[in-house]
Amino acid sequence: MNGTSLEKVRNSKIAFVIPLLLPLLLYYPALHFSYVWDDWLQVGAYAYSQEASSLIGVLQSPLPFSVNYFRPLTVASFFVESRLVAKPGFSHGLNILLHCFNCVLVALLVRKFWEGRVAVSSWAAALVAGVYALHPALMEGVVWVSGRFDLMMTSCVLLALLAELHLANRILRAGAVSLLFLAALFCKEMAIVFPVLLLLVHLGRSSRPWSLKEAVAGGLVHQAVGLSVALLIYVGIRISVLGYFLTTDPQQAFVPLGGALQRSLLVGLTFADYLEMFLQPFGTTGVMRQTVLPVPLDSLKGWIGLGLLGIAVPAAFVAFARKPAIRPVLSLILAVLVALLPVLHLKPGPMLMANTFAAERATLLPLALLAVCLGPLASRLSERPRQNLLMAIGGVLWLSLSVAWVRVALQAWSNDRALWRYMNEFVTDCSYCQTNLSREYLEDDPAHAVELAKRGRQTAQQPWQEAYAISAEANAEAKMGNLGRAEALLNEAIAIEPTDREKARLLNSLARLYLKMGARVEAHEALVRAAQLSKKPDLEISMTLILMALEDGQPEIAEKLFDGIKQAMNSAARDALSSRIKAQLPH
């Protein structure tokens, strides 16, 4: 084979079929999975939970998980999906296709980043993307429908980096990169670090110290202007829609974080855990990676993570400045660290409310950047496999173990009961996991649901967790016909719950319980208290009022209330309630 033919083979676009197909082959069982956990809100009900019947109405609210989560682009995808399809297989299929797309972007980015320094063939780039595609830490982000926030954000960031490296026209390049940056921000707030990532990529590809003249010639002034405009647009839209840029989340105010040292240990613990996910993901993957809060002062993992951040990071900056030969790799490693900054709890995040300090879905972007580091290694391996036999064998073993582990752990995502069973085995003292599993047994084994809820209460570390477990126990007791016991438990949960929003939901549940008990006056009083605490029209409270009107033989009032909320209900619930009202109306 002559040199020209060999070059064609090395750069064949057929190689990119590998990262396109691997995720499909690995994750296709998920096409038969149900929605789990927050998926029911995102696709099954999120579009209806905002008391809005239009896309604009849905986009004008933060996510129900935090008042600071504003992600309209991803929410729009859920909204359209819920209106058109709303089938789990379709939702999982979209996530898998997004992951396939990201894997191809990783392969393209490997070639573009190392262009001019290392001759990375299409096959070597595909090999790197294959490692990324099969990495077990990415499973949550791909299989969980709600992981789409991270998938879409990663797509936008990778496309922006490719546009920066590929487009020659400075104005066109700046425009494309800025628009993709804006899109990434509207997918997930984690994209706020993109300008720093872009700078590090530039520094990594530069063969000599930068000057102002070189920066201007390279179009960085255009980029700075474009990114600034994109950021201003994002901030303006966010403030105009939400009424604030960031605000205090009432539920987070009750998270026990401790003093400055314990907060620092939380950062170190989180960093060490993400490193573990990157390098040794087998047998450690799980939805709820939990810690005691505040982080104990004797947390070895926390001190190790803090030490790595305190020593390795400054050393990397020094080496970056003094060792131009390894600057590309160091720039990518620093980019990985920067991509992790939003989830290291420098500003404590909402996930801490469940004592969760790290999430696998947050590794989608950092691992993509880390994968680009492997370009020269993959090139060496693909060019001289015999001379690097041990490396090749190690790589094959790692990939085989990845596939085996993902296929085993994948089944945990098939439905809610399987997920929370798995999590109760993985994290034995997770109150949230035990309570969620209790709710899964409510219909077919309420006695077991009571036991699980009691365990959830015993392991609760925060007031809301205890209230959540008590309310689950109340539901199970009511299911068994112990209405008096259920009433006492709900009143206890209301007294413990620290936030008005959740108190309102518990009061609404109490009102429905009173209706079952025939206590109309008490039900009305509970609803009045719930309405006062919710501070805005609430779909669940309105539905309870409709049920009260029907129980009192006042279908005309129920019909008027129904007219005010029917556009905010999903079709199945709307049709069922409509039929019940019509059955009582005079013909």
Taking only the tens place, the pLDDT of each residue in 137-152 is 999 999 999 999 999 9
DSSP 8-class letter at 208: S
Residue 49 has pLDDT above 50, yes or no: no
Compute the average pLDDT of residues 229-246: 92
Q: How many residues does the chain have?
A: 587
Q: Among 444, 363, 361, 417, which Cα is nearest to 33's?
A: 417
Q: Over the stretch 452-507, which tens digit does the pLDDT of each residue have? A: 999 999 999 889 899 999 999 999 999 999 999 999 999 999 999 988 888 988 98
DSSP 8-class letter at 218: T
Most confident of the following: 37-51, 472-486, 547-561: 472-486
DSSP 8-class letter at 295: P
Asked if 167 and 176 count as a contact pair (C-beta separation under 8 A), the reply is yes
pTM of the model: 0.89
DSSP three-state, residue 289: strand
Residue 355, by phi and psi: left (phi above 0), alpha (psi -120 to 50) or beta? left
pLDDT at position 155: 97
pLDDT at position 395: 79
Q: Exposure string (b/e) for 199-225, b if CB count within 10 Å is 16 or more?
A: bbbbbbbbeeeeeeeeeeebbbebbbe
Residue 431 has pLDDT above 80, yes or no: yes
The torsion angles phi and psi of 490, rounded to 5 degrees, stand at -65, -40
Q: Exposure string (b/e) for 35-45, b if CB count within 10 Å is 16 or more?
A: bbbbbbbbbbb
